[in-house]
Structure 1
């Protein structure tokens, strides 16, 4: 079967030539230009701090119409972001969405679509949480909280925006994963399992959306100094406080670290919004499935390259071949 990329598939034409599986991996970390995002509508989850807050400001300054969502409104972070938008004359609106709430997701996305006057161009699933500690000590409350935020939340958002994107025959979904969505470090609780799930969700979705002209990109950051570390420490301390020792007694060294973690060093969290902006500005049909972001080590790159090759070797000549080849051919 001839390899087909997204652009030619959607145009109904076949592409010839060898498939480069490595095209699904982008290694660039130098951001030489500031993309123009004028005319793009972007809905972002988790905008109170971190990558979400930085992305909302950055995209709006580059001309995008931004819907910055966060939970628990009213809150100071929302007021600050709204005031910034007013002072800089940015097209930015704050909307309340807790990604764990079916009702808020449905209502918030409808509000954004109405304000946009049509389907959202770009959804960025950025909201996420973490607990620390060995897997045995993760009680079901911590397990459900992590999966509900990091996996079920993106799925709720995806289901809310996709009907409009499919009608428009265009769109982009960016899911913020992690290096720890492809490689595993001990004592990060359910964080890696949720990010592995998000990676699988994203890749399967990317295949299925090829006929609809909608693309999916997974952003895989390394460590950056954002509020996720502080929040994870607080979650971990609360987990320990409700533990009775039945499970924690087996891991004294690992448990002793909980509540004390820091990370990211002197890296610049703006790397992530810049990488997202580059992906958004790319021509449709050329966006990578995965984008690793970090100035240092990117241990997931060989895994990304290998799994792309495996997917193409396994399914490239099957009835699913046009979808799989399209996603991995760039």
Structure 2
């Protein structure tokens, strides 16, 4: 069976570095289409109870993919309504319980997902995440552990669980949801930027290391969208404020005044922008997909940083023994 996901360009360059790679014909990106086809692709996405995850699960399935939509705390109404919508449209969508903060849940859930997928997940979309706002000093250890365990360590759990079967296939794709705030910082944002900066670094390093294995990594950097992330964040932020030392809260006015009350109002961009961008990237020929994609109709301040960071990486390591890996990702 042909390996439709092998990134030929990267294998060529990695081979120059004496890394185990092959050198088939170079593939070129096709012109983007309004509705790319994902037929034949199996996609696993975390955090599908709402927002980008739920919209994406349905979007990829409508484009022909077999979708493994995961969420925690099953059974729950969000799973029932997602399943009902998929059944109504006769979509190939399967719901599996995965709590990315739990080793056991990730192990059991990914095993079930691989069984449902016939042993092969082509694309992993790490979408699950939380936000807890407030000044850094106000972030207690409970909030700190939750933010990093979900946004960073949870992603690592999923990567470790699914990479072995991708490496065996010498093909695959990992899409990690970061944020504008993975490159720029807003005071009072809690550990959200810290976790997303970590996601950016983890993802880029992984992209270099996976070149010889024919697996690609893309980082999605959304701006602000009107999803349930705001309401969910308020639950965690409100609880943090309730248990915080009044003296610490008072020390950081006005950042602490609105903790737990943000509603995302004023944001009117279409959250479907993000799944549409991911689907477009999935449909690109392997070896042509970008490392990063900023997604928002408004300002994208991170793009300047993305450009400079790529230039620095190539200038610093492009001529070293690691150069073929670096250039394979950035060329």
CA distances 1:107-141 after superposition (whole Å, capped 9, x unpaired): 11111111111220000000000011111100000
Which structure is higher in RCO with an 8 Å CA cutoff and minimum separation 6?
1
Counterpart position of 1:216: 217
What's the Cα RMSD here?
A: 1.6
SS in 1 for 2:246: coil
Instruction: Decide which of 278, 285, 288 is 2:287's aligned counterpart.
Output: 285
Matches of 2:288 and 2:47, distance apart in 1? 27
Structure 2, unaligned runs of 5 or more: 1-7, 14-20, 27-31
* Separation in structure 2 between the aligned mates of residue 84 and residue 208 of structure 1, nearest angstrom: 39
Distance 1:12 1:170 in 2: 14
Q: What does 1:21-170 correspond to in 2, within 5 Å?
A: 33-170=34-171
Distance in structure 1 (CA, Å) of the matches to 2:23 and 2:247: 60
- Are 2:240 and 1:226 aligned? no
How far apart, in 1, do the equivalents of 2:254 and 2:56 lie? 37
Q: What are the Cα deviations for residues 47-90 of structure 1, in whole angstroms up to 9, with x where unaligned?
A: 00000000000000110000000000000010111111211111
Q: Which range moves more in the overlay, 300-309 or 263-272?
A: 263-272
Is contact 1:65-1:92 (8 Å) kept?
yes
Q: How many residues align?
A: 311
Task: Give the whole-Å Cα distance in 2 for the aligned partners of 1:249 and 1:140.
Answer: 19
SS in 2 for 1:254: coil
Query: Is the 8 Å Cα contact of residues 5 and 327 (structure 1) preserved in structure 2?
Result: no
Matches within 5 A, 1:300-319: 300-319=302-321
1:28 paired residue number: none
Matched residue of 2:185: which SS? Answer: coil
Deviates more, 1:37-46 or 1:226-235: 226-235
| Map of 1:187 onto structure 2 | 188
Secondary structure of the equivalent of 1:174?
strand
| Distance apart, 1:13 and its partner CA | 7.7
**Which structure 2 residues correspond to residues 225-304 of structure 1 after superposition, within 5 A?**
225-263=226-264, 265-304=267-306
Q: What's the CA shift string for 1:15-40, capped at 9, x where partnerless?
A: 9xxxxxxxxxxxxxxx8511100000
Contact 2:11 2:211 in 1 (8 A): no
